[in-house]
A and B are shown apart, each in its own frame.
Chain A
Amino acid sequence: MSHLAHTVAVRATGVDMFFGTPENRVVALKQADFEARRGELIMLVGPSGCGKTTLLSVIAGTLTPQAGAVEVFGQRLDGLGQEALTSFRRRHLGFVFQSFNLIPTLTVAENVMVPLLIQGRPYGEARDRAVAILDKVGLKGREDGRPNALSGGQQQRVAIARALVHEPPLLICDEPTSALDKDTGAQIMQMVRDLSRSPERCVVVVTHDHRIFRFADRIAEMEDGRISRVVDDPRLLDTSQL
């Protein structure tokens, strides 16, 4: 049991999340349980509207559920105030969004520097680290260009650099490949896998894209606001529903 506690990165138990008014209530998560381990890349899959993004938001500390316990790297999130949650995200989380969310008026390097600057790192140090990680994602020489001058795949690589530049233990990706073509999507996932691989880091990827299932260590299937099963091999999944 103590061995298990050590390997657990994220644990959510009995999470309820409703939206809307009491009369017009949308149930997004219903007694959802979820667990992710250190050192693994786990994918969250399921039909549209089943609650994947909502669960991701809950473990990212951007949504506070109505019920349930959430623990991320030993830190209980339920009961934390906004300020503590913000500080938690600053130290523990990296985000990759479906729509990249790069700031178009900043340079590529400045975009990557954001998490470090939020942590209060000096500009010079932040820039050095941003340039170094941009090199790793294959964007050497593009540091001072604008994100809009890059292709979709390149922009998502900038986003990966931004998500990892401050070495967060938890990397969260929501549909990272759905705005990209098949080959580019595979490249991006390969990059996420290569760069985030670390015995301490946990990567949670929400996706519809069965072509990238092979990059997962485990796959958690969601249905109607809860995890219905977890498999180790994507071939065990019935992808026709997705």
Chain B
Amino acid sequence: MYRLALNMLFGDLAKLAMLLCGLAFSALLMAQQSSVFFGIMSWTYTPMVNIRAQVWVSDPMVEQVNDAKPLRDTDLGRVRSVDGVAWAAPLHTSFVQARMQDGNFKLITLVGIDADTFAGAPAVLSQGRIEDLRLPDTVIVDEWGAALMGRMGVGPDGQPRNTPLKVGDTFEINDIQARIVGICRVKRAFTGGPFVYTTYDRAKGYTLGARRTLSFMLVEPQKGVPPAELCDRIERDTGLKAWTSDTVIWNWGERSLARNTFWWFWTNTGIPFSFGTAVLLGLFVGIAISGQTFYSFVLENLKYFAAIKAMGAGMGVIARMLLVQAFTAGLVGFGLGAGMAQAIGRVMIEKGMPPFVMYPQILWATFALVLGISLVSALIGIIKVSRVDAASVFRG
């Protein structure tokens, strides 16, 4: 009978297409929405991705990467003397206003990195060389910032045109000149505007007035020392807080700064709520659409199920037929929807907008939900058929 159940399902391709569209669309909606949600949430720990270091050391009160509580410069020496530390480099991060040549101000994320080791430097430069940061008054701006801070003018065609900043252009941070020697390609952040890299010492100058400028220390463990273990040692010896830099937000545990940042935003801001509403909306729309399409499939077949029932099929057989139909449709619908979500995601990742992070967990959850929807639809169908009077088959 299960083969017949499947043939019933696949017998009407137009209706099947409708059903699969509904299921695929809801799977797409759920996977897509949650991937964008996690993509946006992944912006919260962008500094962890852009400033690459195995171990981060911060003030004990720090809860997340965007909220540094400055340390004393002498803390650097204390960390360097912890057993197992290969090297430790200072890092400055702050949100400051930059003044463009046209007089406009833009909020930027100023990153000061150690001029000797360039620890924390951007991975990819599309223009310029990192070594030029050793020249006076120099900065490296990310591509987004270069465009954002670019000059608006009129193109040869008379249309307004934005000319991005390039190597050699200048702007000011706190009245101090910043000359661009490089353009880098980094991940966008949720807070604080584009990344502007300079040396740690020059960052002190740019943020005149700030009493302390050591936001984090970037630490490299000696060969064979696991980062998590080094974190324990640093905390024990210095009383500071040490973090690992893995960005897998699902792995539970205290150590990852990215994870703590993610969950800090999760619990302390309205972002998860507002984006979560969109995800839930996708979910409800998905459930409604696929539930509705499967339900109408059952309704259309109700009189045939009634006939099968009259001919002596027990409710157990009919229930299993409906389950086979629902799960098959759910499976195929999920496959189509997840495939589409992945294809769309690939395009989005290429463009970088909107951010898109499709964890395998998202796919599993979508899978479970689509099957859940199928199960509920099948149950409704089963109830419906079980209420049908077998005698009703004699009525036209």
- Asked if A86 and B4 sit within 8 Å, CB to CB, the answer is no
Query: A-side interface residues toward B, CB under 8 Å?
Result: 53, 56-57, 60, 62-63, 83, 86-91, 93, 95, 97-99, 101, 103-107, 110, 113-115, 117-119, 123, 146, 174
Complex interface: chain B residues within 8 A of A83 (CB) = 314
Known contacts A57-B391, A101-B303, A95 near B8 by CB under 8 Å = no
B193 CB to closest chain A CB, in angstroms? 59
- Asked if B311 and A95 sit within 8 Å, CB to CB, the answer is yes
Cα A174 to Cα B9 in complex, Å, equals 29
Known contacts A117-B1, A118-B311, A62 near B7 by CB under 8 Å = no
Complex interface: chain A residues within 8 A of B391 (CB) = 57, 60, 62-63
21 contacting pairs across A/B (C-beta < 8 A): A53-B395, A56-B394, A57-B394, A60-B310, A62-B389, A63-B389, A63-B391, A86-B309, A86-B314, A93-B312, A95-B307, A101-B393, A104-B11, A105-B8, A106-B11, A113-B4, A114-B308, A115-B311, A115-B312, A117-B1, A118-B313
Which chain A residue lies CB-closest to B10?
Answer: A105
Complex interface: chain B residues within 8 A of A86 (CB) = 309, 312-314
Q: Which single member of A95, A101, A105, A119 contacts B12 (CB below 8 Å)?
A: A105
Cα A57 to Cα B390 in complex, Å, equals 9
The answer to whether the Cβ of B304 comes within 8 Å of any Cβ in the partner chain is yes
Known contacts A57-B391, A87-B314, A104 near B12 by CB under 8 Å = yes
The answer to whether the Cβ of B223 comes within 8 Å of any Cβ in the partner chain is no
List residues of B (286-312) whose CB comes within 8 Å of A's CBs.
301, 303-304, 307-312
Interface residues on B, range: 20 to 34
Cα A89 to Cα B4 in complex, Å, equals 20
Cα A124 to Cα B62 in complex, Å, equals 71
List residues of B (2-18) whose CB comes within 8 Å of A's CBs.
3-4, 7-12
- Asked if B4 and A93 sit within 8 Å, CB to CB, the answer is no
Known contacts A101-B304, A105-B7, A53 near B314 by CB under 8 Å = no
- Asked if B11 and A105 sit within 8 Å, CB to CB, the answer is yes
A96 CB to closest chain B CB, in angstroms? 11
Q: Which single member of B8, B309, B390, B393 contacts A97 (CB below 8 Å)?
A: B393
| Number of A-B contacts defined by CB within 8 Å | 86
Complex interface: chain A residues within 8 A of B303 (CB) = 101
Complex interface: chain B residues within 8 A of A117 (CB) = 1, 4
B200 CB to closest chain A CB, in angstroms? 72
Complex interface: chain B residues within 8 A of A89 (CB) = 310-312, 390
Complex interface: chain A residues within 8 A of B7 (CB) = 105-107, 110
Known contacts A105-B8, A123-B3, A62 near B393 by CB under 8 Å = yes
- Asked if A118 and B11 sit within 8 Å, CB to CB, the answer is no
Q: Which single member of A93, A97, A104, A110 contacts B394 (CB below 8 Å)?
A: A97
Complex interface: chain B residues within 8 A of A174 (CB) = 394
Which chain B residue lies CB-closest to A52?
Answer: B394
Closest 4 A/B residue pairs (Cβ): A105-B11, A90-B312, A89-B312, A62-B390
Complex interface: chain A residues within 8 A of B176 (CB) = none
Which chain B residue lies CB-closest to A105?
Answer: B11
The answer to whether the Cβ of B154 comes within 8 Å of any Cβ in the partner chain is no
Beyond contacts A105-B7, A110-B4: 16 other A-B pairs, Cβ-Cβ < 8 A, are A53-B395, A62-B391, A62-B393, A83-B314, A86-B312, A87-B314, A89-B312, A90-B313, A91-B312, A95-B393, A97-B393, A101-B303, A103-B8, A105-B12, A113-B4, A123-B3
The answer to whether the Cβ of B253 comes within 8 Å of any Cβ in the partner chain is no
Cα A146 to Cα B308 in complex, Å, equals 18
Cα A146 to Cα B396 in complex, Å, equals 21
0/1 interface trace, chain B 256-287, chain A, CB 8 Å (1 if under): 00000000000000000000000000000000
B294 CB to closest chain A CB, in angstroms? 15
Known contacts A63-B391, A99-B396, A114 near B4 by CB under 8 Å = yes
Q: Which single member of B12, B308, B389, B394 contacts A118 (CB below 8 Å)?
A: B308
Complex interface: chain A residues within 8 A of B11 (CB) = 103-106, 146
List residues of B (166-216) whose CB comes within 8 Å of A's CBs.
none
Which one of A56, A62, A93, A113 has the greatest number of beta carbons of chain B within 10 Å?
A62
Which chain A residue lies CB-closest to B15?
Answer: A105
Complex interface: chain B residues within 8 A of A87 (CB) = 312, 314
B80 CB to closest chain A CB, in angstroms? 75
- Asked if B4 and A101 sit within 8 Å, CB to CB, the answer is no
B325 CB to closest chain A CB, in angstroms? 11
A138 CB to closest chain B CB, in angstroms? 23
Cα A105 to Cα B9 in complex, Å, equals 8
Cα A87 to Cα B10 in complex, Å, equals 29
B78 CB to closest chain A CB, in angstroms? 76
The answer to whether the Cβ of B317 comes within 8 Å of any Cβ in the partner chain is yes
- Asked if A101 and B307 sit within 8 Å, CB to CB, the answer is yes
Which chain B residue lies CB-closest to A83?
Answer: B314
Complex interface: chain A residues within 8 A of B389 (CB) = 62-63
- Asked if B393 and A118 sit within 8 Å, CB to CB, the answer is no
B293 CB to closest chain A CB, in angstroms? 16
B105 CB to closest chain A CB, in angstroms? 67
B64 CB to closest chain A CB, in angstroms? 57
A65 CB to closest chain B CB, in angstroms? 11
- Asked if A93 and B390 sit within 8 Å, CB to CB, the answer is no
Cα A83 to Cα B395 in complex, Å, equals 23
Cα A115 to Cα B303 in complex, Å, equals 16
Complex interface: chain B residues within 8 A of A90 (CB) = 311-313
- Asked if A53 and B394 sit within 8 Å, CB to CB, the answer is yes
Complex interface: chain A residues within 8 A of B395 (CB) = 53
B44 CB to closest chain A CB, in angstroms? 51
Cα A62 to Cα B394 in complex, Å, equals 10
Which chain B residue lies CB-closest to A172?
Answer: B394
Cα A53 to Cα B389 in complex, Å, equals 14
Cα A93 to Cα B307 in complex, Å, equals 12
